[in-house]
Structure 1
Amino acid sequence: MDGQQGKKINPMLKLALELGPVVLFFAGYMKLRDQTVTLFGSDYSGFLVMTALFIPLMVITTGILWALTGKLSKMQVATVVLVVVFGGLSVWLKDERFFKMKPTMIYLLFGGMLGFGLLRGQSYLKLVMEEALPLKPEGWMILTRRLCAFFFALAVANEVIWRSFSTEVWVNFKTFGLTAALFLFFMSQSGVLNRYGIEEDEKG
């Protein structure tokens, strides 16, 4: 999906730019969760205040990432757009549900993109991660099918959590649960990576 090569930056800086807004949202929400803030004559819950702050912070950190690396993946761009749209709707309409639906939309989009590629006999995941994970073609197809199903499962999980539990439970799920789930997914794919990985001497 992105053939353009980007410049390398410090991995810790990259991680801070990508996860920083999420961590700050969580910290701010935990501090303001029981408070109501009055802005411009309107009352906003702590959740909506942090949502309003999260939107520009996400845009700024993504812009910094683009400035430093010279590129953004389509997934990063899609994430920012959905944050702006759904976060903006939540703040504008004072309705937390829109922002809570945002992860669902993101994972449906990612799963749909991978699924569309699979229907065409292609691994769009390979186009994004080939440099980081050199695999044989059959390995990419297996990993893509699994990740596609996993994204759809995360979308369902997010819907169940925000519709069935409190806002605090959802914030914890979004901050820690989704991140941990993605980490554990890739850890669990070590068999595929070992079986279909391409060694350095095979690349040439």
Structure 2
Amino acid sequence: MAARKINPWLKIGLELGPVIAFFVAFSWLRERTVTIAGTEYGGFILATAGFVPLMVLSTLILWRLTGKLSVMQIVTLVLVVVFGGLSVWFNDERFFKMKPTLIYLLFAGILGFGLLRGQSYLALVMEEVMPLRAEGWMILTRRLTAFFAGLAVLNEIIWRTMSDQAWVNFKTFGLTLAIFVFFMSQSGLLKRYELRGKDGE
């Protein structure tokens, strides 16, 4: 079933709103601690505790308005709930920081498995909105697989070697910018292998 169209700014707000809210909450709470039932929770855990339900709510609203969620949106939501919940439950921020690594490794693995079978799984989910010739899909899939694997490695390096603020900045702005730059850099490939006309020629 095709997704219903909604205002693009509303869609962007629902998708990026929780991430921006997490950034703002962490920036405000990073020097604070709250004691609940004898356990101290720092600003990172407090921001995570607010982010998880906000992410669930925004995703449900998006699904309600459009009637459809992408596989990536569903997987992301599940991992946010699981690893965000583990971070809050165990009062350990490492679970939440590993979430982007697992997301990108998962998608790199899925796309890579398809490539080993001589298929572009990316084409299966995006060919309706971005029609390309088969060769173009294979090239784009190889590049995106490598890109996702690179993001996973980069996330691990940043959260393990840098401050909480550096990781939050990376998660909020760096990942979004990296994905935007990646797809912008593929414009030549998209034009070269674009299908045109009713017969795809």
User: Take 1:54 and 1:63, find their aligned partners in 2: how far apart are those partners?
Assistant: 14
Question: Any unmatched runs of 5+ in structure 1?
Answer: none
The aligned length equals 201
Match of 2:26 in 1: 29
Match of 2:61, as an amino acid? I
Match of 1:145 in 2: 142
Match of 2:11 in 1: 14
Question: Any unmatched runs of 5+ in structure 2?
Answer: none
User: Take 1:125 and 1:9, find their aligned partners in 2: how far apart are those partners?
Assistant: 24
Match of 1:86 in 2: 83
Q: Compute the displacement of 1:201 (Å).
A: 4.7
Match of 1:161 in 2: 158
Match of 1:174, as an amino acid? K
User: Take 1:8 and 1:114, find their aligned partners in 2: how far apart are those partners?
Assistant: 27
User: Take 1:149 and 1:199, find their aligned partners in 2: how far apart are those partners?
Assistant: 28
Tell me the SS of whatever aligns to 2:40. Answer: strand
User: Take 1:130 and 1:40, find their aligned partners in 2: how far apart are those partners?
Assistant: 52
Normalising by the residue count of structure 1, what TM-score does the alignment of the two structures yield? Answer: 0.94
Matches within 5 A, 1:97-176: 97-176=94-173
Matches within 5 A, 1:52-91: 52-91=49-88
State which drifts further: 103-112 or 5-14. Answer: 5-14
% identity of equivalent residues: 67
User: Take 1:191 and 1:29, find their aligned partners in 2: how far apart are those partners?
Assistant: 39
Match of 1:15, as an amino acid? I
